[in-house]
Amino acid sequence: MALTDTFIRQVKHTGSPAGDKYTDGQGLLLLVKAAGKYWRFNYRYADKQKTLALGVYPEVSLAKARKRREEARELLADGKDPGQAKREDKIAKIAAANHTFEKVARSWLEKTAASRAESTQEKITTWLENHVFTQIGKMAISEITPRDVLAAIQKIENRGAIESAHRVKQVCGQVFRYAVATGAAERDVTADLKGAISVAVKVHYAAITEPKQAGELMRSIHAYTGHAYAMAALKLAPLVFVRPGELRAAEWQEIDLDNAEWRIPGSKMKMGVDHLVPLSTQAVEILRSVHKLTGTRKFVFPSIRTEERPMSENTINAALRSMGYSKDVMTGHGFRAMARTIMDEVLGERVDLIEHQLAHAVKDPNGRAYNRTAHLPARREMMQRWADYLDGLCAGATVIPFLAKA
């Protein structure tokens, strides 16, 4: 006789140690014990009598228990053991819980940390924590769909940060490919997002490239009063014209003050190649003054909050803003364009030397890339002439007119 909701709700345990069993038909039964009421499904598989637990009443109602019985019977009809299928499903769920997007991403960050600069590692981690983990971090990476990733990225896109949206998408793709390699996911779902994000417009960093304005800028820099680290970094920036991320992540172990050289490892460079920066006497003087403050620490320009990290990526730009230079006039990255333009068009320096010092790809006549020490004596002289020229601009010396182009 089939069970009813009323009977199940009212039936009591009779005291039998083994419990009381009430059948519903086709293998489904209700086991009533002092501790509660349990659904069971009896079946035969491979000539063996087996029992499958289907849940506890009232969390699992009669209707739900019957549905689970039918699902088990369908597995039997397909030649599968319902008990084994349940165990495999449990294992899969545990695996999914241990392979959330956040856990996989953090594992990827740790495994690949040595391949990128510390500043880049910090930036990628921040992107993931602020924009991705809050959206899909707790989801099993194997169950995440392209729409899930797109929803997270579109929140960045909707703020107008198109370039950041594309970069975050690329990072998510790297996490998914790592998940595929480790067996946590079947494929990289970000491949389906091609064309789903707005095209980023190429942005040129604002820069001062006219000598007279450059002189005014240098005077403002030397008159700037702020934190000692920021003041030193700001004075050094135009002399070395490296990328802002490379400047703020400078470490004392990379700098040889006696030989006036700064050797930046490839792991910190955009092109992944070691870079050598000859230091002018002015640059060495600035660094020696900073060494008195931070020489016993890792970073030349440490964060004011913790010695474990370099100064903020916004430090130089914030200093420029406080000096009255808006982001449309001058940026920390703009010191590179300032050097590139004036050294070429005003000082007449060799373009290949300038490009090499900017860490751009420069090849010899045979098409081979120069190594980091190529033309070092000539570059050292060029860097000293540049520093002397900036001193002259700062002092208000006569400005050399732009050279006429042939």
Question: What residues are labeled active site?
Answer: 243, 268, 333, 336, 360, 370
Count other C-beta atoms under 10 Å from residue 292's C-beta.
8
DSSP-assigned beta bridge partners for residue 25: 28
**Residues contacting residue 277 through CB under 8 Å, at least 6 positions apart:** 240, 242, 261, 262, 263, 264, 357, 383
The rounded distance, in Å, linking the Cα atoms of 393 and 210 is 11
The distance from CA 160 to its chain's CA centroid, rounded to whole angstroms, is 19
For residue 342, the number of C-alpha atoms closer than 13 Å in the C-beta half-sphere is 28
Q: Give whole-number Cα distances, 128 to 136, 302, 349, in Å.
A: 10, 23, 43
Which residue blocks in 3-81 are alpha helix, DSSP H?
A: 5-10, 62-77
The rounded distance, in Å, linking the Cα atoms of 106 and 117 is 16
| Cβ-contact 130, 115 below 8 angstroms | no
The rounded distance, in Å, linking the Cα atoms of 127 and 165 is 10
The rounded distance, in Å, linking the Cα atoms of 107 and 159 is 29
Q: Which of 31, 28, 27, 41 minimizes the C-alpha distance to 11?
A: 31
| Cβ-contact 281, 384 below 8 angstroms | yes
The distance from CA 378 to its chain's CA centroid, rounded to whole angstroms, is 38
The rounded distance, in Å, linking the Cα atoms of 28 and 42 is 7
